[in-house]
Amino acid sequence: MLKEMLENVGIKSPLIHNITNYVTVNDCANILLACGASPIMADDLEEVEDITSICCGLNINIGTLNKNTITSMFVAGKKSNELNHPVLLDPVGAGASRLRTDTAKELLEKVKFSVIRGNLSEIKSLALGSGNTRGVDSVEYINEENLDTVIDFAKDFALKNSAITVITSVVDIVTDGKTAYCVYNGDKMMSKITGSGCQLSAMMAAYISANPNDILKAALACVCAMGFCGEIAKKRMADKDGNSSYRNYLIDAVYNLTPDELEKGARYEIR
Amino acid sequence: MLKEMLENVGIKSPLIHNITNYVTVNDCANILLACGASPIMADDLEEVEDITSICCGLNINIGTLNKNTITSMFVAGKKSNELNHPVLLDPVGAGASRLRTDTAKELLEKVKFSVIRGNLSEIKSLALGSGNTRGVDSVEYINEENLDTVIDFAKDFALKNSAITVITSVVDIVTDGKTAYCVYNGDKMMSKITGSGCQLSAMMAAYISANPNDILKAALACVCAMGFCGEIAKKRMADKDGNSSYRNYLIDAVYNLTPDELEKGARYEIR
Amino acid sequence: MLKEMLENVGIKSPLIHNITNYVTVNDCANILLACGASPIMADDLEEVEDITSICCGLNINIGTLNKNTITSMFVAGKKSNELNHPVLLDPVGAGASRLRTDTAKELLEKVKFSVIRGNLSEIKSLALGSGNTRGVDSVEYINEENLDTVIDFAKDFALKNSAITVITSVVDIVTDGKTAYCVYNGDKMMSKITGSGCQLSAMMAAYISANPNDILKAALACVCAMGFCGEIAKKRMADKDGNSSYRNYLIDAVYNLTPDELEKGARYEIR
Query: For chain C, which chains pass the contact test of at least 3 CB pairs under 8 Å?
Result: A, B
What are the Cα distances from residue A13, in Å, to A114, A136, A225, B14, B259?
19, 30, 17, 39, 38
Least Cα distance to B241 among B231, B249, B232, B229 occurs for: B249
pLDDT tens digits along B56-89: 999 999 999 999 999 999 999 999 999 999 999 9
pLDDT at A137: 65
Helix pair A3-12, A215-236: axis angle to 10 deg:
90
Q: Using the beta-carbon criterion (under 8 Å), do B250 and C244 form an inter-chain contact? A: yes
Q: pLDDT tens digits for C33-92?
A: 999 999 999 999 999 999 999 999 999 999 999 999 999 999 999 999 999 999 999 999
Closest chain B residue to C239, measured at CA: B256
Question: How many residue pairs bridge chain A and chain B with CB atoms within 8 Å of each other?
Answer: 105
> What pLDDT, on the 0 to 100 scale, is given for residue B180?
98
Q: What share of chain A is helix, strand, coil (3-state, %, to 5)?
A: 55, 15, 30
Measured distance CA(A49)–CA(A224) in Å, rounded:
32
CA distance A12 to A211: 9
Based on the number of CB atoms within 10 Å of its own CB, is C127 exposed (0-12), middle (13-18) or buried (19 or more)?
A: middle
Longest dimension (CA), chain B: 51
The whole-number pLDDT of residue B15 equals: 98
Q: Does residue B246 sit at the C interface (CB-CB below 8 Å)?
A: no
Kindly indicate the confidence band of residue A153, based on its pLDDT and cuts at 50, 70 and 90.
very high
Interchain proximity A50–B243, CB inside 8 Å: no
**pTM (2 d.p.):** 0.97
Residue of C nearest to A69 (CA): C44
Rounded distance between C-alpha atoms, residue A257 and residue A238, angstroms: 20
Q: Which of residues 83-112 of C touch A (CB under 8 A)?
A: none
For residue A196, with 0-12 CB atoms within 10 Å meaning exposed, 13-18 middle and 19 or more buried, which class applies?
A: buried
- pLDDT level of residue A145 (50, 70, 90 thresholds): confident
User: Does residue A96 contact residue C54 with C-beta atoms inside 8 Å?
Assistant: yes
How many Å apart are CA C136 and CA C63, to the nearest integer?
8
Which fold is adopted by the domain B3-270? UDP-N-acetylmuramoyl-L-alanine:D-glutamate ligase (3.40.1190)
Q: What is the CA radius of gyration of chain A?
A: 17
The DSSP output letter for C265 is H
Q: Between B54, B251, B255, which is nearest C96 by CB?
A: B54
B116: β partners: B89, B165
Q: Do A50 and B96 touch (CB under 8 A)?
A: yes
Average pLDDT, chain C: 96
Least confident of A180-189, C105-114, C135-144: C135-144
Dihedral over alpha carbons C193, C195, C199, C200 (to 10 degrees): 90
